[in-house]
A and B are shown apart, each in its own frame.
Chain A
């Protein structure tokens, strides 16, 4: 399954580096991380990573295959 996580603010290169498994695009003051998510555990792990990096998650959704 593929997911997209929309985060408030422009993430720096270093910050994006904390999500090496995902790609990202910057748009209108937000960062969109997207890519394959292995399972639920991975999904929750990504959320926890956002939390521990002080990121504000605006949206998280599954992408159509």
Chain B
């Protein structure tokens, strides 16, 4: 056997799980067979015969003997075998795969270093996701093995996440003969079982086969010291339907009874439900202490004797548990001094507890929570705290552990949000208010969030100087470890920084950051180390607020601290947000490629795969009806198709930046598609759709701060402008973004767009005035103003403006190319064609690297003669105008740039064109637009000219190519 041994020679876990908790070693151990275990050879042989099939499913009711059968079989194997007992906490794919990989390591299988924990893979991923390349690598490594590795997933029914099933299927499929999977489960897994069945690739052992035969039942009873004739055994099998747990309880009860034979007869005649009746029988034969212990630990999942003692308030758990294990009654030994109740009996015992001691359950949960808090398991503490209904305690445990940031980011965020969702108003501690504020702010609910944050702050200030928080009383945590108010105060400053970011208040954010800096020194170092997300979130909020205030350098300092720090699962979302914002800064500075690069980095953080994306956004090939499936259950879309493991959707800000870059490149449909998939101004619809069942948390939604909102407005307006809809663009930038202070760049860009819209509609003076109102420190605005002056017929003033500010300094091509084109146009107007051509050539050279097409499309018709000259044609060929030689990195066909520079169509020309596309006649168009036929003809002529065509159908075709329709 190659299971995980207790000895030190076993491979030790080098990693913690994605939550940062150490791996639970008991989950890799093959369960021990109890002394009275009965090996049934027919089943073992069936498992042996299953060897050639990649998938084996042992499927049966609770207590059917599935786990012990496979455990017994596994112990006799010589080839590599990994065991993993899955748990309900494995619903996050990253957690599941972290444990899966660790199980392989624990079995002694050498895994390459590249197969690190999903959380550590390739920088960072949201722990709700798993790296798709990681799974592909795992499958590749498995398929390269000479000897297949067998992986047993026990209690697989606890994994209900469809994405995990899809990923498991992906790995199983691609690992080929290198992996044999054995699923031990109560319910049918969400795998395409019909395909495996049809191909003969699957071995199934189900209830009917697991059921005891009368002969086996007779042997089982004999191991308990009961000799019965075959007809009695047969009757028992009838009564219990061969159910292992039933027979075992029956044997235990009969053994204890004064007259076993009569007892068995009575049982046979009784009509009670089997487990219920037998368990009550066996339970009442235990000593009062054992009964008390069993009933009380029924509220726990797994437990140590010490925790059991805490619940019973006695000290005898250890010998009692050992005795129960020996007897094989109710309790399973998980090793490492950890036990659990047999899941079936646990449920029934809980029912008995409720009946015998109504009202005791919450008290038991409270005791368990207090004990666990002092032993350091936060997740379990919170679970029992909530089960006890003690919200002040539970919130206090979270805040004191400095774990409040995990409500926003990381693998636990959804669980935590769900955990605290039912919290009522009765909890009044500062910690409870902090948790409330965090939940509300995470939903961008400022009004309620600020109210609760204010209340938490006031009560914390009231506590200043006192020894501890109300909620830290009596929890058994040694006083020197209780950071109490300090952790709460740091949490408070974190939320303050978030509130400042959401309201766009730079001063408030700086204050919070300074206060947090001071508090950090008072916090125990290990707490800060355990919660890198606190620092990352603080810097994200601070950087975003500085960005809003237009302090790009300071913003960059804060944001890049986060992106440059080593990524972990809990900081992945913050890193993504920071990258998105750094990308925005580059875009605003005019550096398209840099912006694009960062935005892509943010979106992929190494080709991650979102749970939501794989499940809902992946391609959905048609599924044949699942006729062969006995339950008739439809398969989840994409479950059978590894190709459905789609790439994660970029986060909001990164998408916006990519859309903005696409607009600048004239790839308008692409821009529109990106924009359509970001959250709307209301923010909720898109988010809910994309978040899917993961809800919020993680990376699918940046907080709705003014930076995001303003960026969205700007990108949408720029796209409208590029599509020749200036009045719509004008209306778009007029929608105000709410914030405490005005953001210079948001204001500047809004003015710039408005000015361009007025220019497009032939109102250069209005355009000039709009930009005069903006302080001329922003290079982009200066260039815009120069262009407006030029349009107003004042080329000298335009050049003056450019000379005064010299925007060519540290800004990127998106700004400088426009400046150069203004100079070129001014030169063209003064008749200096050579100088103009030289400047256009300079602009082309600079723009080519970035595929920056928009500036050339928006300048008007004067540039066409220049571009038609031979030297410039070469410079523009391939990316701006069709070239003789095809560009090496041709853009994807649907995003092919407009083949020719065109002059913008006017709104009326566009109206005519649209009707032309609907094959309306000139007369019909005239009637529809309430204009004369001659007017329509005039419009048509200028449309033909601008599109460089001669006929209607050509005009329509060209307009389609140019995305004008």
User: Residues on A close to B: CB < 8 A?
Assistant: 7-15, 17-18, 29, 31, 49, 51-56
Contacts and interface: CB of A to CB of B under 8 A. Distances in A.
Interface in B29-82: 61-63
A54 B355 contact: no
A53 B245 CA distance: 12
Given A12-B280, A18-B347, A18-B351, A51 B272 contact: no
Given A12-B280, A14-B354, A14-B355, A53 B344 contact: yes
B348 A15 contact: yes
B206 to A, nearest CB: 14
Contact of B272 (A10, A17, A49): A10
Nearest to A16: B351
B271 A29 contact: yes
A10 B271 contact: yes
A7 B355 contact: no
Given A9-B274, A11-B273, A53 B61 contact: no
Contacts of A52: 62, 343-344, 347
Contacts of A55: 273, 275
A50 to B, nearest CB: 10
Contact of A54 (B63, B187, B352, B354): B63
B245 A54 contact: yes
B276 A12 contact: yes
A54 B186 CA distance: 11
Contacts of B552: none
Interface of B: 61-63, 186-187, 241, 243, 245-246, 271-277, 280, 343-344, 347-348, 350-352, 354-356
A35 to B, nearest CB: 17
A55 B350 CA distance: 15
A12 to B, nearest CB: 5
Contacts of B62: 51-52, 54
**Ranked 3 nearest A-B pairs via Cβ:** A9-B273, A54-B275, A29-B271
Nearest to A55: B273
B351 A14 contact: yes
Given A12-B277, A12-B280, A14-B280, A53 B272 contact: no
15 contacts: A9-B277, A11-B272, A11-B276, A12-B277, A14-B351, A14-B352, A17-B355, A18-B347, A18-B354, A29-B271, A49-B347, A51-B186, A52-B62, A53-B275, A54-B61
A44 to B, nearest CB: 10
B354 A9 contact: no
B245 A9 contact: no
Contacts of A10: 271-273
Contact of B347 (A8, A9, A13, A53): A53
Contacts of A8: 273
A9 B348 contact: no
A31 B272 CA distance: 9
A15 B186 CA distance: 20
A55 B351 CA distance: 14
A64 B271 CA distance: 29
Given A14-B280, A51-B186, A31 B347 contact: no
Given A14-B280, A51-B61, A52-B62, A9 B272 contact: yes
Contacts of A17: 351, 354-355
Contacts of A18: 347, 350-351, 354
B360 to A, nearest CB: 14
A64 to B, nearest CB: 25
Contact of A14 (B61, B241, B348): B348
A18 B347 CA distance: 9
A55 B277 CA distance: 11
Given A10-B271, A51-B61, A53-B275, 14 more contacts: A9-B274, A9-B277, A11-B272, A14-B280, A14-B355, A14-B356, A17-B351, A18-B350, A18-B351, A52-B343, A52-B344, A53-B344, A53-B348, A54-B276
Contact of B351 (A9, A53, A56): A53
Contacts of A53: 275-276, 344, 347-348, 351
B270 to A, nearest CB: 8
A14 B275 CA distance: 12
Nearest to A13: B355
Contacts of A54: 61-63, 243, 245-246, 273-276, 344, 348
B713 to A, nearest CB: 40
Please indicate which of the listed interface residues B186, B243, B276, B280 has the most CB atoms of chain A within 10 Å of its own CB: B276
Contact of A15 (B61, B245, B276, B356): B276
A23 to B, nearest CB: 17
A53 B187 CA distance: 14
A9 B273 CA distance: 4
A40 to B, nearest CB: 13
Contacts of B245: 54
A39 B799 CA distance: 71
B599 to A, nearest CB: 39
A6 to B, nearest CB: 12
